[in-house]
Structure formats: C-alpha cells, structure tokens
Chain A
Amino acid sequence: MSKLVIDRLSKRFSGTVAVADVSVAVGDGELLCLLGPSGCGKSTVLRMVAGFENPSEGRVLIDGEDVVALPPERRPTGMVFQSHALWSHMTVAQNIAFGLRLRGLARAEVKARVGSVLELVGLAGYEARYPAQLSGGQQQRVAIARCVVLEPKILLMDEPFSALDAHLRVRLREEVRAIQQRLGLTTMFVTHDQDEALTLADRIVVMRSGAVEQVGTPGEIYAAPATRFVASFIGTMNLIETEASGGSAGLAGARVGGDLPDGPLTIAVRPEDIALGEPGWTGRIERVLDLGAFRMLDVALDGGPTVKVQAAKGVPLRAGETVPLRPLGLVAYGGDGRARRASIEFGNLTNVVSIHG
C-alpha cells in the first residue's frame, strides 16, 4: 500500500507548456483517472511519474520520497502501455519473467510467480505462446501481468484499452478494477474515454491544456461540473448560451437569477434533469430517438433553443407533440467558464436549481 503525491508538476517542450502546475495526491489503494482530450497533458504527467520524462518543475513523491532524480528502472512504479509493448521475440512466460530475472530471483521462484500472475489475469496455460499468437485483450492481460508480477508500489496505465474493441474494453476494465482492488494497488490511469473514467475511478482528475480543471469522485464530477469545459466534456449536457445583465438572464421565457456576473452566460442542464409534464417551459418534440434503455427527445423550447430530454421507455411520445417541461437541476457558467450559484423562475413558479455555490 503506497501513496503518490504529484506536487506542482510542470513540463515544457521547447517553449510549449505541456503540463502546467499540476498537483494531485493518490491515496493508498486508490484508482485515480486522469481524464481529458488528446493533447491535454495527461500522458505527460503519467510519463513524468514513471520517469520517462523529466519535469521542468515540481516533485513526484512516492511514500514521501522524491523520485524525480531516479531513472525509470529504479522507480517503484510499473507501467502498462497503450500499445501493450510486449517483446515479440519472447513467449508470454519470458515476457513476464524478464523483470524477475533482472532481480536475480531463483528459477523456481520466477516460475511460481509467473504461474500465479497468469492465473490472476486468466491466462494460465498460455506460457509458451508468443505475443503474435494472442488476441489484443490477451496481450493487454500479459502486459498487466508483466507489471503486477513485480509488485510495484504504483501502477500506471496509459490508455491501456484504447486499441481494443468496445466489448472487450468493457470486460477488461472490469477485470482490471477487480485485480487492482484485490491487490490494493495504488493506480494512476490515463484515458480520454469518460465512460471508462466514470466506471473505473475512485476519483477523476479532468485536465485541459496541461492544467487541472476539476478533481472529484465520478459522482461529483458528473453532477456538479466545476467549469464549462468539464460540463461539456463529461456526459451529455445541454449548453444554452444567454446573456446576463443586472444579476439575471432570460432563458426561453424563464428568468435565471443568482450570483451572475454581467456578460455571456452558459446554462448547463443534463437531459435526465429535465422533467417532462411539469409546468415551466413549453416545447415541441422534434425527434424521438429510441436508445433501448431510454428515449432521447429533441425538444424545441418556445422562444428558445432546442434541448435534449431523456424520457423513460414506456412514456408515449411522438414527434410534433407539444409538452410542458421543467429543469430539475442546472449549473450556470459565467464568461470565465467557472460555475455560479443560480436558480430559475417561471412566472410565479420558483425552481430550485442551483448546484454550485
């Protein structure tokens, strides 16, 4: 059980800032996801923790010891790469045993540990196969086994499932989560896939342009995105642009009030946070998409934009119908992109809607 602390880490590549002043701590046995779009610096952070990149500034502390000066081979970390990075000239057993042999372990112990880790990742009996004889999922399991067998203090995973098909990705991430919890490994996981982050992580760090936008549990990040970027990046969100003046703004006949600065304002409402049949807005259903578990409607608000509304499967709705609807929760973002306390009023009806304060 180990703790990882990233303290004010920055990285510049010939003048370009890739990572800017990132600080985050990963607790004992915690799985922390770095989530963000391509090029946001999440992999660079991971590579600095692993030792493959030298930080321009900042510290990486593992159990209180600064490891920045140590080369990757001397750091107590293990990394799983996006491309699996298996050595094609070695069998599965040889791939896993390579690190153990470098540590001078006896042959019998190496064999026993290889067997036990293959059992753990569900690949017992595959010892003599070469990587080219395995499927993508099996290759990634070998890569995980190669890491885990060395019992690293910190497990680092750099988009390990991005090369796999959707079904396999879902199955493998469940398996990885189970292994991580069983071994109690402190893990930092990089992904650009929000579903992956939401289902795997204990906490998520959302990154953008090299900086941290928000740190929180999946529930917190989903329910209360701290910035407009996080709101747009995580899940499906209706982002309605309006203008605030004198502390309030108009929105399709309703009035949004609260701690609002004058200027551009974005109101964010999740499709599942809009109740159909409740008095408030009125809108016309333009399209009904049946997504299996639920239906997604495009509703054009009277005097306002078109919003997405999630409806239960059994509700009889057709395109062309006019329906009353009301937001049950919303977040407002000022011109600086930060969340603001806000509420919405429909005539004499006042809604409760502030999420952020």
Chain B
Amino acid sequence: MALAAPILVEARRFPVGLLLVAAPMLLLVVFVLVPAASAIVSTLTDPRSGGPSLANYRTLLGDPLSRGNLFFTLGSTLAVCGLLLAVCLPVALYLRFSSGRLPAFVQSVAVFPLFVPGIIVAYALIRFLGPNGSLQTVLDAIGIHGFRSPYLTPAGTVIGLVWEGIPLTLLILLSGLAQIPNAAIEAARDVGAGRLAILTGIILPLIANSVTVAFSLAFLGAFGAFTIPYLMGPASPEMMGVFMQRTFSELRDPAQAQTQAVMSFLFCAAVGVIYVRSVIRSRRRGS
C-alpha cells in the first residue's frame, strides 16, 4: 500500500500535466507547425501539375540575384557573429573577473540596447553614422575629413546588427563565465598557468557551450533580421528578410518567398544542429 500510494498520485497528476501543456501545444501546431509544413510542401510542388518538383529551388539557386542575396546574408551573418564574439568576450571576461562600481556601470551600458526597439536603434545609428551625422561632424571638427558613411552599405547592416546583438550575446557569455568557479582559475594559476594559458586552456573550453549558444542565437537573429537591414542596408544585395518581404509583397511571388524562407530555415536548422550536438557532448562529459 505504501508503494502504491505515490503511483496513484502520479497517475492522477498525469492528465493535469497534459491538460496544462495541451493549449500551448495546440497553438504551436495550428499557428507554427501546420503553416510551416504547408509552406515546405508547397515549395516542393509544381504549381501547374500539382506534382512533386524542385522547380522552385532550381529557380532560387539559378537566379544570380537570389543566390547573391543568400550568400550576402550568410556572409553578413557570419561577420555579425564574429564581431559580436570579438566585442562581447573581452567585455564579459572583464565583468566576470572584476568587481566594484565600474564593472557594474559597464554592464548596464552594454545591456542597454536590449531595452531599445530595433527601429529606434536603426534611426539612432543613422543619425550617428549617416552622412552629416554626429560622427562625421565630430571628425570634421577635429580635422579628419573624407569620412565615408556606412549607411546603406553592407557595413551599415553589420554595425546595426552587432549593436543590437551585444546585450544578448554578452548576457549568455556572462552566464557561462559565472559557471566557472574561482577555484578552477586559482587551481590553474597554482599549477603555473599565466593569463593566456588560463584563457585558452581553461576558460574558453569551459564556456564553449555558452559560446555555441551565443553564436547560434546571434546567427538566428541576424540571418532573419529585417528592420536593421531594411533601414541601414544597401538596396542590393539584400539580406534574406528584406528580400523575402519584397518578393512576397512587391514581386507578388509567394512561391519564391516561401522557397527563400525554407532555404533560410535550412541554414538556421544547420546551426541548430551544431548547437544541439554541442549540448549533448557537454552533457555526456558532465561539464
């Protein structure tokens, strides 16, 4: 009887748990999975015969403009991810291993963009970096002329996306660094490790999972970004988000827009696989 009682309690709880997750699961199926599956199926269907076909993908990959946009998006996204890690990792290391008022101030400044909507960020950057913006005015005032604004260039998109991505990347790296006990660093110093050896031999491997998560989320955010590339990027080549929207609403070609979406999804899913494999690997060795 003593053993049976908890089992009965579990049995009674089970339907309650199912009921609790049923509503969000239903929403997920109806509003995400069904439209996504329907879009994937429609990209694999010949619009005339209704039979299976890869024609949409042949069109996408055969069109130099579409292909260029895809590679431009991929290149810009990788640049954003690289820059985000290059900017955020030193800041995160400083914040993790420092104490006092200055690190607290630096952290609040670094996280500030999290609370600013993307469109405001874009306009603020245009006012700062654009032609005759604040930066050019200051440079002119100190005698540096010939500033070429990154506004409406690929660099504009990258700068905007990096600015927007800093808070999330920094917070993820900080949470990873917070998992490293001080004793692990002290043990490394104790066996003779200097700063570089501690960084490369201890800290970076221990936060590899956080770096992968930060990279994945930065990649997903940048690959599908719309506002910043739309307002700060060049007219051509375009990021996939802008290209999809224009294909759908201006070119009125929903089949190609869907194909572009599925292609974007495949790139993002590949990054997702890297992330999942990294998580599984780290769990296996218990780190």
Partners in one complex: yes
Interface centre among B192, B206, B208, B286 (most CB of A within 10 A): B192
Is A146 part of the binding interface, using a Cβ–Cβ cutoff of 8 Å?
A: yes
Taken together as a complex, chains A and B put the C-alpha atoms of A132 and B286 apart, in Å, by 5
- Contacting residues of chain B (156-208) with chain A, CB-CB under 8 angstroms: 181, 183-184, 186-194, 197, 201-202, 205-206, 208
Q: Are A99 and B205 in contact (CB under 8 A)?
A: no
Chain A residues in 8 Å Cβ range of B202: 87
Residue of A nearest to B285 (CB): A130
Q: Are A88 and B192 in contact (CB under 8 A)?
A: no
Is A211 part of the binding interface, using a Cβ–Cβ cutoff of 8 Å?
A: no
Chain A residues in 8 Å Cβ range of B188: 87, 98
Residue of B nearest to A96 (CB): B191
Is B108 part of the binding interface, using a Cβ–Cβ cutoff of 8 Å?
A: no
Is B132 part of the binding interface, using a Cβ–Cβ cutoff of 8 Å?
A: no
Residue of B nearest to A89 (CB): B205
Q: Are B190 and A83 in contact (CB under 8 A)?
A: no
Residue of B nearest to A102 (CB): B192
> Closest approach, in angstroms, between the C-beta of A170 and any C-beta of chain B?
24
Q: Are A52 and B186 in contact (CB under 8 A)?
A: yes
Of A74, A81, A130, the residue contacting B187 (CB under 8 A) is A81
Chain A residues in 8 Å Cβ range of B194: 73
Interface centre among B188, B190, B208 (most CB of A within 10 A): B190
Taken together as a complex, chains A and B put the C-alpha atoms of A149 and B39 apart, in Å, by 62
Q: Are A89 and B190 in contact (CB under 8 A)?
A: no
> Closest approach, in angstroms, between the C-beta of B32 and any C-beta of chain A?
36
Chain A residues in 8 Å Cβ range of B287: 88-89, 130, 132
Q: Are B191 and A146 in contact (CB under 8 A)?
A: yes
Taken together as a complex, chains A and B put the C-alpha atoms of A86 and B206 apart, in Å, by 11
Q: Are A73 and B189 in contact (CB under 8 A)?
A: yes
Interface centre among B183, B201, B208, B286 (most CB of A within 10 A): B183
Of A72, A87, A131, the residue contacting B190 (CB under 8 A) is A72
Interface extent on B, as a size class?
20 to 34
Q: Are B192 and A85 in contact (CB under 8 A)?
A: no
B194-224 CB contact bits vs A (8 Å, 1 = yes)?
1001000110011010000000000000000
Taken together as a complex, chains A and B put the C-alpha atoms of A52 and B183 apart, in Å, by 10
Is A235 part of the binding interface, using a Cβ–Cβ cutoff of 8 Å?
A: no
Taken together as a complex, chains A and B put the C-alpha atoms of A50 and B181 apart, in Å, by 18
Q: Please, how many residues of chain A have a CB less than 8 angstroms from a CB on the other chain?
A: 31
Chain A residues in 8 Å Cβ range of B208: 89
Q: Are A78 and B181 in contact (CB under 8 A)?
A: no
Q: Are B190 and A88 in contact (CB under 8 A)?
A: no
Q: Is the interface of B mostly helix, strand, loop or mixed?
A: helix
Residue of B nearest to A129 (CB): B285
> Closest approach, in angstroms, between the C-beta of A161 and any C-beta of chain B?
15
User: Taking A73-B192, A102-B193 as contacts, is the C-beta distance between A85 and B286 under 8 angstroms?
Assistant: no
Chain B residues in 8 Å Cβ range of A143: 187
Of A81, A99, A132, the residue contacting B192 (CB under 8 A) is A99
Of B183, B186, B201, B206, the residue contacting A88 (CB under 8 A) is B206
Q: Are B190 and A78 in contact (CB under 8 A)?
A: yes
Chain B residues in 8 Å Cβ range of A122: none
Q: Are A85 and B197 in contact (CB under 8 A)?
A: no
Taken together as a complex, chains A and B put the C-alpha atoms of A87 and B180 apart, in Å, by 9
Is A22 part of the binding interface, using a Cβ–Cβ cutoff of 8 Å?
A: no
Chain A residues in 8 Å Cβ range of B184: 85-87
Taken together as a complex, chains A and B put the C-alpha atoms of A146 and B186 apart, in Å, by 13
User: Taking A87-B202, A89-B285 as contacts, is the C-beta distance between A71 and B192 under 8 angstroms?
Assistant: no
Is A150 part of the binding interface, using a Cβ–Cβ cutoff of 8 Å?
A: yes
> Closest approach, in angstroms, between the C-beta of A315 and any C-beta of chain B?
43
User: Taking A85-B184, A133-B286 as contacts, is the C-beta distance between A77 and B190 under 8 angstroms?
Assistant: yes
Closest A-B pairs by Cβ, 5 of them: A132-B286, A99-B191, A85-B183, A85-B187, A88-B287
Q: Can you list 30 A-B contacts (CB < 8 A)?
A: A50-B186, A50-B190, A71-B189, A72-B186, A73-B189, A73-B192, A78-B190, A81-B183, A83-B183, A85-B181, A85-B183, A85-B184, A85-B186, A86-B184, A86-B187, A87-B184, A88-B206, A88-B287, A89-B206, A89-B287, A99-B191, A99-B192, A102-B192, A102-B193, A103-B192, A130-B287, A131-B286, A133-B286, A146-B187, A147-B190
